Amino acid sequence: MERRTIGAAALGVGAVGLGCMPMSWAYSGSQRRGDRSLRTVHAALDAGANLLDTADMYGPFTNELLLGRVLKERRADAFVSTKCGLLVGDGHVVANGRPGYVRRACDASLRRLQTDVIDLYQLHRADPEVPVEETWGAMADLVRAGKVRALGLCAVGARSTRRGAPDGGYEGTIRQLERIQQVFPVSAVEAELSVWSQEALVRLLPWCEARGVGFLAAMPLGSGYLTGTLTPGGGFEADDPRARHPRFTAEMMAANQPLVAGLRRVAARHGEDVTPAQVALAWVLSRGPHVIPIPGAKRERWAVENARAAGLALDGADLAEIAALPAPRGSWD
């Protein structure tokens, strides 16, 4: 697989990664299987998708424990990205950016992951009660201590402001990035980016490109919609957030079918084995050499299919057709 670089730390990873959250958190709880998830992680590593994206809150904690079982055998094959800064309570999530908590959280993640070092440690959310520079400083101390190789920030704010926002809704995140960059280099930013969610292209992605910061594209398959495998009106399990999502109502899923149809047309030009999901990932990859999509997957076949998208090159006609697709229907809030 093509290799790409994670920002200031110049760490090489496969061009497509693996989002591990669906194995332990959100998205159809009845479909989670520990042994199947382990096979999925191994299949992704075998295919060159070595960036494994997780967080201590996924589960909580169980996602890191799952990956630890793989890393115990294959640490040299993997690039581990995990996150801190969010605590899960009864039905709610709260931020904690206190330096002492950050240090304890890192040590706990290292134990669960069964590793001596985390390749990329990300701040999941800034704590409004703690200056973000203090939290970032504590994370920088972890790099100096040899527990972490590089630092990243998960971008927030686009969903609540995206309608009509000239900056794509990420201006608050950019202000945070400017502040913490003065404390310690930012190696990566993780934010949503897909064919039907392009807000990051306005300001956030150019900010990263200008500063040599890697961009981890979260939800590059539109929470599964762009794969073309979801049936409008098919329904979701009660614990699946898509069951309450305005863009995943039967009406809106049907209204957005022209997007999937366009991806299918492009896929057909590249061969009968090429899928809409691979085209959607190839589009994300085409946004720049510093962009690394991290599609989530719970099954081996999806992880391997996603990894193979790294070998799909879209030409000008493909990109023009995708650019001409209708804007997605339905609120994202």
Task: State the 10-residue block means of pLDDT for the chain, 333 residues long.
Answer: 88 96 73 83 98 96 97 98 92 92 98 98 97 98 98 75 60 95 97 95 96 97 94 82 88 95 98 97 97 96 98 98 94 67
Structurally, the chain folds into a number of domains equal to: 1
Whether 267 is in a domain gets the answer: no
pTM (predicted TM-score): 0.94
Whether 233 is in a domain gets the answer: no
Whether 325 is in a domain gets the answer: no
Catalytic residues: 58
The single-letter code of the amino acid at 271 is G
- DSSP state letters, 46-88: HTT--EEE--TTTTTTHHHHHHHHHHHHHGGG-EEEEEESEEE
Contact between residue 136 and residue 184 where contact means Cβ atoms under 8 Å apart? yes
Whether 244 is in a domain gets the answer: no
Note down the domain range covering 187: 3-224+277-312
Whether 302 is in a domain gets the answer: yes
Residue 163 pLDDT: 44
| Beta-ladder partners of 292 | 216
Q: Residue 246, preceding bond cis, omega within 30 degrees? A: no
Domain CATH code at residue 61: 3.20.20.100
Whether 135 is in a domain gets the answer: yes
